[in-house]
Structure 1
């Protein structure tokens, strides 16, 4: 298990995200040269998707704190005074009232429960994003390695074709060659140069994809260091993998949490028609208080009471209908996600097995054989045993094998990434198995 999953998983379980959310400006340089582990650690801090998910968890944490209150509002204090004028004289009236609203029918508990379940769902979703980001960063890192090797291979092909072209020019100048041979050699140089340009563009695109996942400025030049880690995966049978993947995918747990939260909100909407109760007490002085004022007819009054809204005009029917629809939507999304997870696992497993067979069929021995054929044909051409078409055919075979192998390797990396994401990180490239790419 990678460092990112260990470190971020703890935060996802609610051990605190505040100290983990360092701003991007706090670290000015990404480690160079960049290894896979360093890339995963960096993505854990600066990947835009993960940072947004952390912020979402913080927002819902605040909402959960706000919802977990014993009463709907703070106590309310009202103070009033007035001047009373009568034919017998004037006096002062004073009124002080203190009131407090209370939850009725468990509405406060339902609010807190809904907020807690939303927060738990966000944490589960964050955990899934951690595993998905791990897979994507690893795939982007491996793609840079693959395309970098593709550029190196294309560079060697260009060099070999230029040497052949130089030789054809010398033969032409000596009167031993033909224009057909020179044209064929020139065509080989042009095709190899175009191949190199495509390889360089693929490398640049792979680097930009990695930059995006790492959340860094694309103007930075990363020195990527590593070996292709695409050994065979230990994959159980399909039925067992499906069962384990459903248990592993924390976004399914997040979907279940959203259903539970929607259920609590529906219960709350049903109970909103029961008004909360406000209890109040008051103290009042009339004409300055007891025995004061004109003719000593002042009075002091103390008392209390309750108040509540009458649910006559507003029956909260819209709120109940909306909450019921939100629950149906959450259930539908959960059902769709559960089905999609199974489809993802089956599809990615099939893609992985197919890509693995393709890579195995186009292994290093096949690539070396195609390259050896070019060398042998070149020597035969120099000896006058074959003509220019044979050189072109051998070069075409080499380029075709190289292109097919790189395509198969890309497909394998994509399939491994999809399988890791589909299983929630249950199936991943083993850090202990490395293999040098061709």
Structure 2
């Protein structure tokens, strides 16, 4: 029996999350490299125009990007459906009640986190694949707000139940805090915030835009509050006891959070500029904010890489024979850094005329992003072979309880 069915944990939702993120990362090439003068994001008609009037280079790039978008979107949906079926079975088993009474209950936040990614992926597929859909987009934005409101309600339900148990029953295991898995709710909240920020930026109806802003504000505030509560606790435990080896990927959890915060900022600032101030967003502002966030990601990435390399994490759980479901947490940082880098290259460097579009420097920066994407895809396939299928080799029992290490 495949391990996915035999040893299911909610952290398997991260496999679907990673595939959805990769689909979005390929969309970034279309977002920033093909013309879309009549809409804030490329649509079906813009893609058609590439094949009508643009050169062979842009056509090849568009074709490869579309293949990546569709392939990983299909993978995302298939893995998501498999997770939903398995999660429904798990809820009827004693293992679920045990999960609900442990620190591992926080991993249930992977469900709304992944569902929020699904809405983003479907929005991209609709814009690119359905002719004329963008002309009706103002009718779709209210449904987008409703979808993210429902996902946000689910996130608050899981989180509220978890927090209420911790406070009322003193149900938190303080010995199991030497990793950053407990920051997972903040990741889910920022993913929902960036979803609300999309209609805030793109809708021309003030009421819809403002409702999107309010939703983004609420979930950004929830994320910030939880980080302020849990980050010091986990960091102190790591300094006391050292990092739990399977919790290595949690050192990188801030990378996707920074990306989501950066995109949310760009969207909210654009919405405020266009709909409330009737002006254009100054690109110098995005250069500073996105530059700082990318710098923070690079610092966090180097520190995490150094620690995991010293602990032998990659040799053991990526290239070796040991298996650990939280290893899927290695995918989101690669996706997130590539996506925010694309925003920084174009919103921070091209729009400020620091770098010229399609210049050698511009292409070199994209080559670095592409290399990161390729390495991330390679890692995802390696983990899928080991964790989603029937393992060909025996593997040791994990050092820590996997359900309590929500590495994302």
Choose 1 or 2 for highest CA Rg.
Answer: 1
TM-score normalised by L of structure 2: 0.29
TM-score normalised by L of structure 1: 0.27
The structure where strand makes up a greater share of residues is 1
The structure where helix makes up a greater share of residues is 2
